[in-house]
Structure 1
């Protein structure tokens, strides 16, 4: 039984979201869609995860793009 039916991201890890977006768009397009430094200058999954976990506004943008792309 789903404990959080109103949250479409419930149970989806940030790393999975980021990997799926990078595979779909690539770093260059992702950096264009969400203009944050960790996507545009020497991007990596690890550095992006560190930044997104500490920066709620950036994480919200990534989650919104994920939902708009894959829903």
Structure 2
């Protein structure tokens, strides 16, 4: 049995897809997410459970969501530096 490797430089390490999605919805809202990533689970009757189901089956869409999450983290870090 192998032990999980440390990934200190991976900002997504330990972050679940559900957490990413929940934080993105809180930050951007479903409408903006649907504009930035044109997938039906964000535009037509969006919900976290239906989006998770789709994203777990669709690697390209998950990559886009992960990229959007990293963008959000960078923007929050920039805002924190400006405010400090």
TM-score interval, smaller chain: over 0.9
Q: Partner of 2:39 in structure 1?
A: 36
Following superposition, the deviation at residue 53 of structure 1 comes to 0.4
- RMSD in angstroms over aligned alpha carbons? 1.2
TM-score with structure 1 length normalisation?
Answer: 0.93
Q: Unaligned 5+ residue runs, structure 2?
A: 75-84
Using structure 2 for the length normalisation, give the TM-score: 0.79
Once residues 41 and 51 of structure 1 are traced to their aligned partners in structure 2, the CA distance between those partners, rounded to angstroms, is 13
Q: Structure 1 stretches (4+) deviating beyond 6 angstroms?
A: none
The count of corresponding residues between Structure 1 and Structure 2 is: 70
Structure showing greater radius of gyration is 2
